[in-house]
Amino acid sequence: MKPTQDPHPKIDGIRVDIEALRRLSHECRPSNCSVRKSCCKTYEVIVDNGEMSDIIGAMPRAAHYAKGILQDGDLVDPFDDADDADACLTTHEDGMCIFAWRDRKGAILCSLHSAALDLGVDPYQTKPKTCTLWPLYLIEGDAPRLTVQEDAYAFACNKPATGIPVQLDPGVSEILDAVFGVAFREKVGRLIARK
């Protein structure tokens, strides 16, 4: 009898939902956000202390794009309390993140990302980890599990891959490289190729 394969094998201490990652095809296209659902208007973004410092550091440049983070010439406090240790990003009344901005064509972009590019810094150092990770999602806990956000396919930038892919989608690979590193992504890729 063939042994049942673990659907969530552990890689570097993280249980990975291999099938969910295998099925996902992702390409961030901000122009879609002008007419369709935008991730920057959908979720509460929780940030820890380290991320708060990085965000504050990028704010003077981000204010060139997201005018809402300036009030009477001063930078606003962009954080609401989430719990004792963490905070969440403030949103506008319509739910849009305070750091989002629209270009001339209506595309919704992240001012922390734009600021990082201007400053020659890796954008993944200024953006919250949950934003970089989306549409993937890390369920924290004693045994953290990496999977795909439940409603990911409601957004135009995500679609199910055709057939049974034997390699990671390039958009998903880029996310894993940015958040967990190349070695982690290669281990995930090997498991996907093996099935």
Under DSSP, is residue 108 helix (H, G, I), strand (E, B) or coil?
Answer: strand
Least Cβ distance, residue 17 to ligand SF4 (angstroms): 23
Q: Which of 89, 116, 136, 172 binds ligand SF4 (CB under 6 A)?
A: 89
Burial class (CB in 10 A: 0-12, 13-18, 19+), 192: buried
Alpha carbons 129 and 107: distance in angstroms, whole number: 22
Determine if 136 is a binding residue for ligand SF4 (CB under 6 A).
Answer: no
Binding mask 7-26 for ligand SF4 (x = CB under 6 A): --------------------
Q: Which of 33, 45, 157, 176 binds ligand SF4 (CB under 6 A)?
A: 45
Q: Please, which residues bridge with residue 77 across strands? A: none
Least Cβ distance, residue 25 to ligand SF4 (angstroms): 20
Binding part of the chain for ligand SF4, among 16-24, 94-102, 137-145, 164-172 by CB under 6 A, reads 94-102
Least Cβ distance, residue 165 to ligand SF4 (angstroms): 26
Q: How many CB atoms lie within 10 A of CB 75?
A: 13
Determine if 100 is a binding residue for ligand SF4 (CB under 6 A).
Answer: yes
| β-pairing verdict for 46-47 and 108-110 | unpaired
**Residue 25: both structure tokens together:** 């095809």
Determine if 112 is a binding residue for ligand SF4 (CB under 6 A).
Answer: yes
Q: Which residue in this structure is represented by tokens 């049942």?
A: 4
CB of 98 within 8 A of CB of 66? Answer: yes
The residues of the shown chain that bind ligand SF4, judged by CB under 6 A, are 40, 45, 89, 97, 99-100, 110, 112, 127-128, 131
